C-alpha cells in the first residue's frame, strides 16, 4: 500500500500571512477544499478563491471574543480520524464530518508580546489555545495528515505540493510532525517561563527555536550546533562563519567587556575564554596597543573586543595581528575597509541587548543551572583588612583587576598596573601556581610589577601568595576574604608595608 496521499482538503488559520497566498493558489489549482475562519478566511476570499467558513462546518459561531473558534468535533474529528480504521470512517459519515488532510496553523506571538513589556492581560490573551490544539492533533495523525505549523515552513511545503502534484509522502508528513511538536514545545516552554517568574518552580525548561549547524564542535571529529538567534546580538559585517570555539570566546569576551561599558576606551584580547590582554586608556588605539603588550604571543588567533567605536587608527594596528574575531559597538567606514583586508576575519557589531540571567550546562546525567554572577565589586563592597590603606590609584587598579579576575578561569590570580593587565594565572589547581604563572609571564614580556596590584578569585588559606607577590613588587591585594587563616596573610602584609582589602564575594569560574 502506498504511503503517498493525495490531499483533498485543508484547514488554514494563521496569524502570519506573508507568503500564504502562493500556497492557497496552489491548493486551489489542485482542487483542494479549503476551510478557514476569521482573518484568514477574509484573506482567502480577497484572493478570489472559494473558502468554507469553519462556522458553516460546525454550525456554531466564534464565541467568547474569538477564544473559541475551531474547538469542535467536526474539526478535530476530521483531523484525527484514521483513514484505515473502518469505525472512524463510519463515524465521519454518521456525523457528516469531512476528512482534513492539511492543517496550516501558526500561533499567536506570545514571546514577542512578552518582550514588548505589554500588560499581563494582553500577554495572557496571546496564549494560543485553538492553534496549539490543531497543531498537536494534526501532528499526532501524521499517518494521514500534514501539519504546517510555522510560516518558516511555507516555502518547503509549497515545493512539496508543486513537485508532487498534491501527493505527500509519509516521510514528509512525519518530518513536518516533528517540526510541529518542536513548535508546540517551544511555545509551552515560553509560557511556563513567563508564569514561573513569580513562583520559581524547580523545573528545568529551556527551548530555542532557531539553530545553526557549526563546521564542527570543539574538535573536528565532533559535531557542533548553536541554538539561539545570534542576529539578535550581532550584526555580522564580514568573515567566515563563527565556529564552536569562536562562540565560546565571543561569549567570554562579551561578558567581560560588559564590566567596562562606562568610562574610558577599553580593549580586551581573549584566548581560550580568558583575557590575555586588557587595558583602559584615553584613546582606543592606545588601549589596544597596551592590551596587546600584555601578551602578544597569546593574542595570535584571539578574539578582540572594544567598548567604543573602532576608528581607522585602531584598525590599522589590529590589521597587523592575525585574529579570528573583532567585536565593537560601531566602526568607522575606513576601519571596516581596513579590517576586511583579511577575508576570513569575522567583524561583528554588538547590539545593545540584555543577556540571560542564568547559566546552565550538562553535568553527568542532568543539567546544572545557576544564577549569573552579576556582582561587580565596587568601592561600597570593600573592607579594609590591613593597617596600610591602598591609595586612590591603587583602589582603581584593584577594582579593575577584580573585574578581570571575575571572568578568568579558576584558580586565578590577576596582576594589574595602571589599568593594564600585566598577566594572569588561569585555570590552575593551585593558587600559588596561578600566581607564579602570572609573574613568569609578566617578566617574560618585560612588564614591571613594582607597584602592581593583585586580585584573587578566592581567599588565601596561607600567606604564601602575598609573600610571593610582595617579592615580585606587588603593593596591594584584593581578595574575597573568609578564610579562617585570613589573619596570617593580613599579618604578612602589615609586616611588609602592603595593603589588602576584602570584597566579601568569591568569583569562582569553572
Q: Is 140 a catalytic residue?
A: yes
34, three cell numbers: 479549503
CB 397 within 8 A of CB 417: yes
**What's the CA gap between 177 and 251, in Å, rounded?**
34
Return the axis-axis angle of helices 38-46 and 20-29, rounded to nearest 10°.
70
Catalytic residue (choose from 6, 17, 140, 319)? 140
**What's the CA gap between 119 and 229, in Å, rounded?**
25
Catalytic residue (choose from 8, 238, 272, 319)? 272
**What's the CA gap between 78 and 99, in Å, rounded?**
4
Taking the mean position of all CA atoms in its chain, how far away is CA 486? 39
162, three cell numbers: 508543486
Length of the chain in terms of residues written: 510
DSSP state of 193: H
The strand pair at 358-363 and 266-271 is best described as unpaired
**What's the CA gap between 102 and 160, in Å, rounded?**
13
312, three cell numbers: 581607522
- As beta bridge partners, residue 148 has 104
Q: Is 407 a catalytic residue?
A: no
Residues 6+ apart with CB under 8 A from 48: none
**Tally of CB atoms within 10 A around 189:** 16
Q: What is the CA radius of gyration of the chain?
A: 31
Q: How many helices (H) and strands (E) does the chain have?
A: 18, 23
- As beta bridge partners, residue 323 has 302
Nearest to 100 by CA among 78, 127, 73: 78
Nearest to 375 by CA among 351, 396, 402: 402
* Residue 492 dihedral angles phi and psi, to the nearest 5°: -65, -45
Active-site residues, by number, are 140, 272
Amino acid at each position: 500500500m502506498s504511503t503517498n496521499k493525495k490531499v483533498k482538503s485543508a484547514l488554514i488559520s494563521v496569524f502570519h500571512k506573508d507568503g500564504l497566498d502562493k500556497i492557497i493558489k496552489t491548493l486551489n489549482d489542485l482542487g483542494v477544499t479549503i476551510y478557514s475562519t476569521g482573518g484568514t478566511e477574509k484573506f482567502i476570499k480577497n484572493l478570489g478563491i472559494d473558502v468554507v467558513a469553519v462556522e458553516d462546518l460546525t454550525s456554531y459561531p466564534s464565541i467568547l471574543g474569538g477564544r473559541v473558534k475551531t474547538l469542535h468535533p467536526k474539526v478535530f474529528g476530521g483531523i484525527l480520524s484514521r483513514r484505515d480504521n473502518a469505525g472512524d470512517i463510519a463515524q465521519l459519515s454518521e456525523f457528516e464530518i469531512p476528512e482534513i488532510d492539511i492543517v496550516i496553523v501558526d500561533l499567536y506571538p506570545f514571546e514577542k508580546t512578552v518582550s514588548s513589556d505589554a500588560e499581563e492581560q494582553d500577554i495572557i490573551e496571546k496564549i494560543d489555545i485553538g492553534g496549539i490544539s490543531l497543531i498537536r492533533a494534526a501532528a499526532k495523525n501524521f499517518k494521514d495528515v500534514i501539519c504546517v505549523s510555522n510560516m518558516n515552513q511555507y516555502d518547503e511545503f509549497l515545493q512539496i505540493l508543486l513537485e508532487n502534484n498534491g501527493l505527500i509522502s509519509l516521510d514528509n508528513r512525519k518530518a513536518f510532525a516533528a517540526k510541529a511538536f518542536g513548535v508546540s514545545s517551544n511555545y509551552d516552554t515560553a509560557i511556563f517561563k513567563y508564569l514561573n517568574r513569580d513562583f520559581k518552580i524547580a523545573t528545568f525548561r529551556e527551548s530555542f527555536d532557531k539553530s545553526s549547524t557549526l563546521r564542527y564542535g570543539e574538535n573536528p571529529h565532533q559535531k557542533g550546533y548553536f541554538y539561539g538567534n545570534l542576529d539578535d546580538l550581532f550584526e555580522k559585517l564580514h568573515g567566515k562563519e563563527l565556529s564552536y570555539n569562536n562562540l565560546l570566546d565571543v561569549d567570554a569576551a562579551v561578558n567581560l567587556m560588559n564590566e567596562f561599558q562606562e568610562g574610558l576606551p577599553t580593549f580586551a584580547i581573549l584566548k581560550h575564554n580568558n583575557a590575555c590582554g586588557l587595558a583602559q586608556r584615553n584613546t582606543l588605539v592606545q588601549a589596544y596597543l597596551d592590551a596587546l603588550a600584555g601578551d602578544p604571543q597569546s593574542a595570535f588567533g584571539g578574539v578582540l573586543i572594544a567598548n567604543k567605536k573602532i576608528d581607522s587608527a585602531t584598525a590599522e594596528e589590529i590589521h597587523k595581528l592575525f585574529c579570528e574575531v573583532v567585536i565593537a559597538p560601531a566602526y568607522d567606514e575606513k576601519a571596516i575597509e581596513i579590517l576586511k583586508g583579511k577575508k576570513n576575519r569575522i567583524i561583528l557589531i554588538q547590539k545593545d541587548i540584555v543577556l540571560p540571567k542564568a547559566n546552565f550546562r550538562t553535568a553527568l546525567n542532568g543539567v546544572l543551572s545557576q544564577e549569573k554572577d552579576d556582582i561587580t565589586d565596587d568601592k561600597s563592597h570593600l573592607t579594609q583588612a590591613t593597617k596600610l590603606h591602598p591609595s586612590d590609584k591603587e583602589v582603581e587598579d584593584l577594582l579593575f583587576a577584580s573585574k578581570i579576575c571575575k571572568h578568568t578561569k579558576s584558580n586565578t590570580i590577576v596582576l594589574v598596573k595602571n589599568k593594564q593587565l600585566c598577566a594572569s594565572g588561569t585555570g590552575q589547581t593551585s593558587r600559588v601556581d596561578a600566581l607564579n604563572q602570572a609573574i613568569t609571564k609578566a617578566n617574560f614580556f618585560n612588564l614591571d610589577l613594582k607597584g602592581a596590584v593583585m586580585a584573587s578569585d578566592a581567599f588565601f588559606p596561607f600567606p604564601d601568595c602575598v609573600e610571593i607577590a610582595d617579592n615580585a613588587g606587588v603593593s596591594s591585594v584584593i581578595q574575597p576574604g573568609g578564610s579562617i587563616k585570613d589573619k596570617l596573610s593580613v599579618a604578612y602584609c602589615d609586616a611588609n608595608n602592603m595593603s589588602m582589602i576584602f570584597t566579601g564575594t568569591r568569583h569562582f569560574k569553572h
